[in-house]
C-alpha cells in the first residue's frame, strides 16, 4: 500500500462529474481494495456503505475531480474522500442519529427506520453511527478531505 517516497497511502479510484455512476464505481473499487487487504466481509460491507455516502455527498455537493484513498494510521485504516470544495460538511455530534420512539410491533419498528433513513440529510449521521464516531473532515491545500477510520484487518 506504500507509495514511492514512503507515504502509506493508496489511491483506490478517481472520478469526475462526468464519470458514469461514480458511487457504484467507488464502491466496487473500495470493496476490491479492502478484500485484498484481508478485511472480513462484514467489515468490508460496513466500510463500503459508509464510504458510499461520503462519495455520493462529494459528487453531489462539491467540485471535482474527486479521489478515494486508503491510508494506515495506527490501529485504523483511514478511508479518505478528497474533493475540490472548501465548503466543510456539518458533521454530526455523538448521538446524532435520533430515532423516534418506535411502536412495539416489528413492522412498526421497520416503518420508523425506513422513514428515518429516507429523509434527506441523514447520511452523515448514519455514517457516524457505522464508524462509531470516527468521522472527520479537514481542509486541504486543494479543497477538503472527509475521512472515516475503521479498524485495520
In sequence order, what are the residues at sequence separation of 6 or more whose Cβ sits closer than 8 angstroms to the Cβ of residue 92?
A: 124, 125, 128, 135
Query: pLDDT at position 124, please?
Result: 81
Question: CB of 76 within 8 A of CB of 150?
Answer: yes
Cis peptide before 65 (omega within 30 of 0): yes
Print burial letters for 107-143: b (CB count within 10 Å at least 16), e (below 16): eeeeeeeeebeeeeeebbbbbbebbeebbeeeeeeeb
In sequence order, what are the residues at sequence separation of 6 or more whose Cβ sits closer than 8 angstroms to the Cβ of residue 78?
A: 70, 71, 72, 147, 148, 149
What's the pTM?
Answer: 0.77
Query: pLDDT at position 115, please?
Result: 57
Going from the first residue of the chain to its last (153 residues), give the mean pLDDT of each consecutive group of 10, the final group possibly shorter.
58 96 96 95 92 93 96 94 93 56 50 55 76 90 96 88
Domain regions of the chain by residue span: 9-151
Class of domain 9-151: alpha beta
Query: pLDDT at position 130, please?
Result: 80
Rg from Cα positions in the chain: 16
Amino acid at each position: 500500500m506504500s507509495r514511492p517516497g514512503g507515504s502509506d497511502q493508496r489511491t483506490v479510484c478517481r472520478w469526475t462529474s462526468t464519470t458514469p455512476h461514480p458511487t457504484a464505481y467507488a464502491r466496487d473499487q473500495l470493496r476490491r481494495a479492502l478484500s485484498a487487504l484481508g478485511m472480513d466481509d462484514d467489515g468490508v460491507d460496513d466500510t463500503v456503505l459508509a464510504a458510499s455516502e461520503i462519495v455520493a455527498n462529494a459528487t453531489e455537493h462539491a467540485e471535482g475531480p474527486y479521489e478515494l484513498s486508503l491510508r494506515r494510521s495506527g490501529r485504523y485504516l483511514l478511508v479518505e474522500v478528497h474533493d475540490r470544495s472548501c465548503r466543510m460538511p456539518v458533521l454530526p455530534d455523538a448521538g446524532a442519529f435520533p430515532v423516534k420512539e418506535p411502536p412495539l410491533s416489528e413492522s412498526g419498528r421497520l416503518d420508523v427506520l425506513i422513514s428515518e433513513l429516507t429523509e434527506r440529510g441523514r447520511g452523515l449521521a448514519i455514517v457516524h453511527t457505522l464508524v462509531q464516531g470516527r468521522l472527520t473532515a479537514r481542509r486541504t491545500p486543494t479543497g477538503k478531505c472527509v475521512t472515516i477510520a475503521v479498524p485495520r484487518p
